[in-house]
Structure 1
Amino acid sequence: MTSSPSRGSTSRLQTHRFLMLYALAAAGGSAAYAPFLSLLLPMRATQTFGENGIEVLSYTAFVGALAASAGSIAFGWASDKSGHRRGWVLAGVLLSSLLLVAMRFAVTVPMLLALIVAWQIALNMMLCPLLAWAGDSIPDTQKGTLGGVLSLAPAMGALIGALITIPGLADPDARLILNAGIVLAMVLPIVIFGKPVPMPQLMAPSAPSDALPPAEAMPIEHIGGQGRQVARMWLARLLIQIAEAALFAFLLIWLRILDGRVTDNDTARIFTGVLLVCVPLAFLAGRWSDRTGRPRVPLTVTAGAATIGLLVMAAAPNVSIGIAGYLIFGVLAGVFLALHSSQTLRVLPRPGTRGRDLGIFNLTNTVPSLIMPWLVLAIIPNFGFSALFLLLAGFAGLACVLLATMKRF
């Protein structure tokens, strides 16, 4: 998609101060959910509900994904209508932190599910307006740098999870309070001190959309000729997210099939290594795309390279090659997802519905949790992991083709 001159060409840059505050807030957004969902909630469910813990976790994952999807769209739309993002971010971080601490009172399944739904809604009251704020404030010439900033978030989420679970540091209830306090310390600075340089060119409607009916009356896929480009970006991310979700859930099982000596700690170190390597690569690729004005190239290349990693996994005869294949996929998919999050802001056609449209894009983060279990159950028992990896490689390859054949944006 060709950017309109008013939005794509400007000499004004956002300040490094705001970018640093935004990096801290984005990392706080990851810390708001990653430690709880990956560590604190599973431990609490097994301690509270015993042998029914896994079943309870399945319920929480399902209702949480639905609540997150609804909350992301709703509060993205609300922040569009209100004309500001800061207040929604503040309300969301305060409410989600309170609800996180309240999880210690969830002693029955209905109470836990109700708190999970409320917490996911409050969390997305913060997360979607926060991303839309970047779209309002960071020009296209810094979108690649923004992608590098966003790559820090998953690594920081993993690091905070490791910190608050240090043995002897805090009991399970205190960990919730500690987690909430860290999130507040990371997100509140941008709310209080974040004063971005105004970017009026980012708030001006693009020329092709000026003559269209109000966006509120139109689904996103029909907004002018840009709809096809938006749909390609959405589908490409969804395909990569499905592959990543499947491997995150089942990598340990597959590695143990290749070598029974593999432990959960080995897998955790692989995940951590992937997250750490992603950060400098995303920064380098993002800065390159900013300097050259070719934002689509890193997305296409990383999607293609992720495909190669999955093909290596499908053909892996031993655990060493299997891990090598996953490292290729995991690192390149991580870079892809970070850069995609920032470059998505480039193709959304209407600033007035940016939050709502980002809420729709965020379905790519929750829909895979609903699709992936059924996909895995249908393939692995009948055809094995190699067939699953070939299918996922097909998904990643299709994402690469979708991006490679897009018009320049």
Structure 2
Amino acid sequence: MTFHDAGGQGSGTSPAPLPAALREPVQRVRAGWITAVVLTNLGINAAFFGPLQVLLAQQSQSFDPGRKEAVLALATGFGAAVSLVANPVAGALSDRTTSRLGRRVPWVLGGTVLAFAALLLLAGAPSVAVMVLGWCLVQAGCNAAYAAVTAAVPDQVPAAQRGQVGGLAAMGQTVGIVLGAVLAALAGGFVLGYFYCAAFLLACAVPFLVRGRSVPLDRRDRPPFRWAGFLKGFYVSPRRYPDFGWAWLTRFLVNLGNSLFTLYLFYFLQDAVGFPDPAAGVLILTGIYAAVVVVTAVLGGRWSDAVGRRKPFVVASSLTIATASVIMATVPTWPAALAGAAVLGAGFGMFLAVDFALLTQVLPNALDRGKDLGVINIANSLPQVLAPLLAAPIVLHLGGYRALFSVAAVVGLLGAVFVHRIRGVR
């Protein structure tokens, strides 16, 4: 199995001895710690995707039925723009946190509290402007918590266990997506739905706040803070760290294809398929998708650990995701949507588990794990900004949903191409 050491990708020199908080982990993590990480991912994703899949669409339609697509695109676009900044900044600040609880727990706590309050604000939003503000604050809080809990994995999980942990974390993400849709559907309206998501997020964060403590970073080991250096650090040179650059591009393309696939799913069922209850339809499709993701994420992550390879799994998952888009583009019917959801789940489950393990193996250095994973997470967030900009004109003026899903397939296929450029991981 090919793994990078803590000194950084392609450093060419032996690294100096690292402080205890920054050393590569060697002891396998236990079930209780993994469970806490899974639950945190579950709560964050319920708070993300309950609104994204159902609640924001319902709220946008209540404000302006004739321009619901544009209102939804406005909210999701601004929210994703906030996440572009919040995730890497929170990750970088958590890298330098010297709390006795460790570097990550304070940011999970603060991010969760902010997102909880913002979801309550969304429930009572009197206008589109307040809705957009509330969603931006949810994105800020959830991304801060997500950046911290994600960085905890390379902090505490040895490389040979990361496929397993990545698969289980992906399972938590996926179940969270389902539960977000369930909470939205059970609420019977977006106001109560936001309350349900807020309470669920808070409850799921508690185990990590108890079990997520790690070795604190000594103040003497924290580099001095300078704004110029801090901001400059968010640029990770693809020339100096090419594997990191190619891994970022692969994740960006696959997530852009996935964002194009899912953004207008509610309206696709309502307007193209003619499904009588699109909210229930989203719930059904999400349930199928999630069931398959859980299986392929857990099995794919373990399988990747066992054979010591990552890239073949990422290629196979990218091709499978593109196939799901082809199905939706060619046969816009309810049975085809069911098949597309299953195929998408098969591909995305394996991608979530194995690509995450691959990414942790190309991080430049141990001190900046949170920041560098935050930069990687821009490849998750930036597609959410670009998808509304691409999807709205495609659906309204350039061919409708058939064209949208065709573009999603092509974009996803490119991810399978560029992963081959990564040299340091097999």
The normalised TM-score by structure 1 is: 0.82
- Superposition deviation, residue 313 in structure 1: 4.9
Gap regions ≥5 residues in structure 2: 8-22, 222-228
* Alignment counterpart, residue 78 of structure 2, candidates 41, 46, 63: 63
The match for 2:261 is 247
**Contact 1:305/1:328 (8 A) holds in 2:** yes
2:204 maps to what in 1?
Answer: 186
Between 375-384 and 52-61, report the one with greater CA deviation: 375-384
- The Cα of 1:221 is off from its aligned counterpart by 3.6
In structure 2, the partner of 1:363 is 378
Q: Is residue 43 of structure 2 the alignment partner of residue 28 of structure 1?
A: yes
Counterpart CA distance in 2 for 1:292 and 1:108 is: 53
Using the TM superposition, give the Cα deviation of residue 341 of structure 1 relative to its aligned residue in structure 2, in angstroms: 2.9
Task: Name the residue aligned to 1:343.
Answer: 358
Q: 1:234 aligns with which of 248, 255, 266?
A: 248
Whether the aligned pair in 2 keeps the contact of 1:139 and 1:199 (CA below 8 Å) is no
Q: Give the drift of 1:120.
A: 2.2
Cα contact 2:119–2:194 (8 A) shared by 1: yes
Structure 2 residue 126 is matched with structure 1 residue 107: yes
In the TM superposition, what is the alpha-carbon distance from 1:193 to its structure 2 partner?
2.8
The residue type paired with residue 82 of structure 2 is A
Structure 1 residues 280-326: Cα deviation after superposition (integer angstroms, max 9, x where no partner) = 11111100111221122321221133334444555559765575355
Q: Deviations over 1:324-381 (max 9, x none)?
A: 3553234313431343234322211112111112222122222222322343455564
Aligned to 2:16: none
Q: CA deviation at 1:127?
A: 1.4
- Which among 87, 92, 97 is matched to residue 106 of structure 2? 87
Describe the shift of the 1:141–1:58 C-alpha distance in structure 2 as closer, same or farther (beyond 3 A).
same
The yes-or-no answer on 1:135 pairing with 2:150 is no
Contact 1:296–1:408 (CA under 8 A) maintained in structure 2: no
Aligned-pair identity in percent equals: 23
The 1-side partners of 2:24 and 2:94 are apart by 26
Evaluate the alpha carbon distance shift between residue 394 and residue 174 of structure 1 in structure 2; reply closer, same or farther with a 3 A threshold.
closer
Correspondence 1:158 to 2:174: no
CA distance in 2: counterparts of 1:25 and 1:249, whole angstroms:
24
What pairs with 1:18-57 in structure 2 (closer than 5 Å)?
18-47=33-62, 54-57=69-72
* In 1: Cα distance, 2:142 partner to 2:333 partner: 41
* Cα distance change, pair 313–164 in 1 and its aligned pair in 2 (3 A): closer
Pairs within 5 Å for 1:180-329:
180-195=198-213, 217=232, 220-222=235-237, 225=240, 227-251=241-265, 260=274, 264=278, 265-313=280-328, 316=331, 320=335, 323-325=338-340, 327-329=342-344
**CA–CA distance in 1 between the matches of 2:332 and 2:93?**
52
Kindly indicate which of the two structures has a greater share of residues assigned to helix. Answer: 1
Residues 103 and 290 (structure 1), Cα distance of their counterparts in 2 relative to 1, 3 Å cut: same
Contact 2:177–2:286 (CA<8 Å) still a contact in 1? no
Q: CA deviation at 1:112?
A: 3.0
Unaligned runs of 5+ in 1: 205-213
Change in 2 beyond 3 A, CA 1:104/1:391: closer
Cα distance in 1, alignment partners of residues 335 and 168 from structure 2:
31
Matched residue, 1:400 = 416
Greater mean deviation of Cα atoms: 156-165 or 12-21: 156-165
Instruction: Pick closer, same or farther for the CA change 1:128–1:261 going to 2, 3 Å.
Output: closer
Contact 2:78 2:385 in 1 (8 A): no
Give CA deviations for 1:105-156 in whole Å, capped at 9, x if unaligned: 4213333333333332222221111111122111111111122112221222
Are the equivalent residues in 1 in contact too, given 2:318–2:416 (CA < 8 A)? Answer: yes
The 1:101/1:317 distance shift into structure 2, 3 A limit, reads closer
- Does the aligned pair in 1 maintain the 2:47–2:197 contact within 8 Å? yes
Pair 281,65 (structure 1): closer, same or farther in 2 beyond 3 Å: same
Report the CA distance shift for 1:96/1:242 in structure 2 as closer, same or farther (over 3 A).
Answer: same
